[in-house]
Amino acid sequence: MKITSWEQEDLIKGRAEVLARVRGLRAEMSRNGVRIDAGGTDVAENMRLLGEAGVNRLSVPAEYGGLWGGGRWSGWRDTTEVLVEISAADGSTGMCWTNNGLHPRRLFTADLPRETKEQLAAELIGDGRRLVSSNSEPRTIMKSSGNKRLTNSGPSSKNDSGSFKTRRIVVRPGNWSVT
For residue 42, the model assigns a pLDDT of 87
Cα separation, 74 vs 67, whole angstroms: 10
Q: Is the pLDDT of residue 161 over 70?
A: no
CA-based radius of gyration for the chain: 16
Q: Report whether pLDDT(135) > 60.
A: no
Q: To the nearest 10°, the Cα dihedral for 118, 121, 125, 129?
A: 120
Once rounded to an integer, what is the mean pLDDT over residues 104-122?
A: 91
Domains of the chain, earliest start first: 5-170 (1.10.540.10)
Closest CA to 97 of 41, 59, 144: 59
Kindly state the average pLDDT of the residues 4-19.
Answer: 77
The pLDDT tens digits for 78-98 are: 889 999 999 999 999 998 898
For helices 5-39 and 76-89, angle between their N-to-C axes, nearest 10 degrees: 20
Q: Is 82 helix (H, G, I), strand (E, B) or coil?
A: helix
Instruction: Identify the pLDDT of residue 5.
Output: 60
Name the 3-class secondary structure at 169: strand
What pLDDT does 7 receive? 63
How far is residue 133's CA from residue 147's CA, in Å, rounded to a whole number?
14
* DSSP secondary structure letters along 42-69: --HHHHHHHHHTTGGGGGSBGGGTSSB-
**Average pLDDT score, the chain:** 76
Specify the pTM: 0.72
